[in-house]
Amino acid sequence: MAAPAEQIGRDVILTALDSPDFLAALISATSGAGAGEISGQLRAIDSRRDELAEAWAAGEISRKEWLTARDRLTADAGALTTRLSRSQHSRTLAAFAGMAGTVWQRWATMTTGARRAVIQSVAAGIPVHPAASRHWNPARIGAPIWRA
Instruction: Tell me the pTM.
Output: 0.59
Q: What is the DSSP string of 125-148?
A: E--BPPPSSSS--GGGB---EE--
Per residue in 65-115, pLDDT (tens digit) is 999 998 998 888 778 767 666 667 777 877 787 777 788 998 999 999 999
> Rounded to whole angstroms, how far apart are CA atoms 80 and 83?
5
The predicted pLDDT at position 20 comes to 72
- Examine the pLDDT at 64 and tell me if it is beyond 90: yes
Per residue in 15-60, pLDDT (tens digit) is 998 887 787 777 666 665 565 576 667 778 878 888 998 999 999 9
Helices 20-30 & 63-97, crossing angle to 10 degrees?
Answer: 150
CA atoms within 13 A on the CB side of 67: 3
